[in-house]
């Protein structure tokens, strides 16, 4: 049996690392204001062994 996890919790990690409370367009705003944060989270998932 193989388990495949398709979501590494990107949204929650964006909220945690951005230090901002979620708003209706919070994910879009973080990606516009802090694209390096999105990259860093993906890098950390990869380093932890995530596969796509």
Q: Cα separation of 21 and 46, whole Å?
A: 26
Reading the chain (52 residues) residue by residue, the pLDDT tens digits are: 776 666 678 888 888 998 877 788 888 888 899 999 999 998 998 898 887 6
Q: Tell me the domain boundaries of the chain.
A: 10-47
Count helices and strands (H / E) in the chain: 3, 0
**Predicted pLDDT at 41:** 92
């Amino acid at each position: 049996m193989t388990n495949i996890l398709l979501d590494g919790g990107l949204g929650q990690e964006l909220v945690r690392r951005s230090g901002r409370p979620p708003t209706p367009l919070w994910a879009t705003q973080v990606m516009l204001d802090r694209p390096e944060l999105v990259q860093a989270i993906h890098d950390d998932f990869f380093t932890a062994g995530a596969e796509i």
